[in-house]
Amino acid sequence: MLPSREQWRRWSLPSKYTALGFLLGAVFGVAGSGLSFYFWLNPRSPVEPIALPPPIFRSAPVLELAAEDVREMIKKNGFFDSGASRTPWANPEADGFSNRFEIKENGRIVVDYASGLVWDTNGSNEMMYYADAQKYIEMFNKSNSSGHSDWRLPTIEEAMSLMDKKANGVPPMHIDTVFNRQPWAMWTSDKQDSEHMWVTYFLRGECYPTKDGYWGWVRAVR
């Protein structure tokens, strides 16, 4: 039976991936036919380009980030910090940063169109020392995760942009439920001094410096 007039209207020229797939099928037989079926089902590149605004937060790490600098940064950006540990940089009255999240790449990444950042959704599977966190990022880039090799540890202000005022999800954490709930303490690339690194603590909704002997999770950003 010939296609109806309405069906003819919906037809279009094949994409270059579809054409390539069928060409391979003709040359390589079964193997090529398998590729042609793949390209037919996936007419676009596996990693879709993402149009983002320029990042608005500092991305370069600071090796001597004082408590006063963190206090000013939190106040300036309106970040929420519960002050559960009675830290001088607490900002419990703030509403926090207004993110605009979108989950992409089959749930592997979270794009924030408000900050211009792309986050790994799940984070590391286990806690680790700070030195191991750096090695984790290296391996993450070697694997070309989600088609990119420029992943890194976030700065403290990038990490604090994820801090929600209200704890939500199970277990309750001060971070959006688009993210995996396991990484409740997250390493950043910033240091207070040679022995103390800044971390974000999403269970209590705050940040503070801690020694390398502390264990934390890694959530890569780019």
Question: Coil, strand or helix: which one is 108?
Answer: coil
| pLDDT at residue 44, as a whole number | 42
Only one residue has tokens 């890569």, namely 220
Query: Residue 176 and residue 162: Cα distance in Å, rounded?
Result: 7
| pLDDT at residue 48, as a whole number | 64
One pLDDT digit (tens) per residue for the chain, 222 residues:
444 444 444 344 444 444 444 454 444 454 444 444 443 444 444 556 778 899 999 999 999 999 999 999 999 999 999 999 999 999 999 999 999 999 999 999 999 999 999 999 999 999 999 999 999 999 999 999 888 999 999 999 999 999 999 999 999 999 999 999 999 999 999 999 999 999 999 999 999 999 878 999 999 999
Query: Residue 80 and residue 95: Cα distance in Å, rounded?
Result: 6
| Sign of the torsion angle spanned by Cα atoms 20, 22, 26, 30 | positive
| pLDDT at residue 167, as a whole number | 96
| pLDDT at residue 46, as a whole number | 53
Kindly give, in sequence order, each residue whose CB lies less than 8 Å from that of residue 116, ignoring residues fewer than 6 positions away: 52, 53, 54, 55, 56
| pLDDT at residue 146, as a whole number | 87
